[in-house]
Amino acid sequence: MDIQFDFSGKTVVVFGGTTGINLSIAEAFAQRGADVAVSSRRQDNVDAAVERLGKHGGKVLGYAADVRDMEAVAGVFEAVRSEWGPVDVLVSGAAGNFLAEANGLSSNGFKVVVDIDLNGTFHVLRAGFEHLSPGASVISLTAPQAVIPMRYQAHVCAAKAGVDQLTRVLALEWGARGIRVNAISPGAIADTEGFTRLSPPDDPEGKRIARNVPLRRLGTKDDIASLAMFLSSSAASYISGAVIPCDGAGALDAIKP
Ligand code: HXC
């Protein structure tokens, strides 16, 4: 990443931060001096992420918690606060997805994705609010499915549309406290679980998908981490309520007439 940001002395909490895009975001903060806490469902992923993030020399904490469980999420914030004080940057990135025709989705199949992606985001932001420092930056990870209807993604489309609106409403409600609330909408990002799950079986490396992106390449996890750094820096101090695609213009192309 060829941009310079300094988060020394800042406390960052990343939900879903033990793998994929969210781990790259956590690592970018750790490389720039922040104290970073990560949380996700599986203890083995938490342990591996804490070890990796610890190599950057800063303080690191990790907690196993399921974002579907509001009390567990609140417990993460209480633990981080008692160790480090208020939270300066909060990233809500936990997500779940699978391809399924709407006709093939059980009530529980639809619910589980809404519970993780939408209700989980609410839990993280709602439980986190009282622990945020004045001027904190809050970032949710959304997806192009929020605005682009996609086959076999009814559950994700519905959930992520909710995440977009939640972002805007909380920006309205929390602005008076100086808290900025934004969302990042990653496009097709290479080497991620999401991309692997959604890329066609005959195009596992995404070459055809990349050719269709206006910028003619897949995104990288660094592309997303760069945007998270920017949004959490003073350079973005007047940006709130924004849902920002980071997708090489892929979403725009998908909704062309
Ligand atoms: C139909 C399915 C299904 C499928 C699961 N279900 N997979 N239905 N087709 N392929 C149904 C199950 O039958 C069950 O309903 C219900 O969903 C819950 O499934 P469980 O496996 O019991 O749930 P759980 O263990 O909580 O797992 C959650 C999960 C799983 C979302 C289903 O895939 C998961 O844990 N994923 C986490 C990792 C992940 O998805 N990462 C990708 C994130 S990428 P019944 O009725 O049988 O009980 C991402 C980006 C989005 O989200 C945008 C990308 C561009």
pLDDT, position 257: 56
For residues 7 and 191, what is the distance between their CA atoms, to the nearest angstrom? 26
Q: Is the CB of 193 under 6 A from ligand 1?
A: yes
pLDDT, position 50: 98
Number of domains in the chain: 1
Residue 138 lies in a domain: yes
Residue 140 lies in a domain: yes
Task: For residue 97, report the distance from its CA to the centre of ligand 1, in Å.
Answer: 5
Q: What is the CATH number of the domain that holds 181?
A: 3.40.50.720
Residue 13 lies in a domain: no
Q: Which two tokens stand for residue 33?
A: 């001096």
Task: For residue 20, report the distance from its CA to the centre of ligand 1, in Å.
Answer: 17
pTM as predicted: 0.96
pLDDT (average), residues 63-80: 98
Q: Is the CB of 106 under 6 A from ligand 1?
A: yes
Residue 93 lies in a domain: yes
Residue 164 lies in a domain: yes
pLDDT grade for 197, boundaries at 50, 70 and 90: confident
pLDDT, position 103: 97
Summarize pLDDT for 203-226 with one digit per residue, the tens. 888 899 999 999 999 999 999 999
Is it the case that residue 2 has pLDDT exceeding 80? no
pLDDT, position 256: 63
Q: What is the mean pLDDT of the chain?
A: 96
pLDDT grade for 31, boundaries at 50, 70 and 90: very high
pLDDT, position 205: 84
Atom of ligand 1 nearest to the CA of 104: 1
Specify the range with the lowest mean pLDDT, choosing from 45-54, 146-155, 184-193, 196-205.
196-205
pLDDT, position 253: 83
Residue 88 lies in a domain: yes
Q: Any idea of the CA torsion for 136, 70, 24, 245, to the nearest 10 degrees? A: -70
Residue 117 lies in a domain: yes
Domain, as residue range, for 130: 65-199+241-248
Q: Which two tokens stand for residue 121?
A: 């985001």
Q: Is the CB of 182 under 6 A from ligand 1?
A: no
For 66-100, the DSSP string reads: -TT-HHHHHHHHHHHHHHH-SEEEEEE--------
pLDDT (average), residues 104-120: 98
Summarize pLDDT for 118-162 with one digit per residue, the tens. 999 999 999 999 999 999 999 999 999 999 999 999 999 999 999
Say what percent of the chain tops pLDDT 70.
98
Residue 43 lies in a domain: no
Nearest alpha-carbon partner for 98 in 108, 109, 86, 111? 109
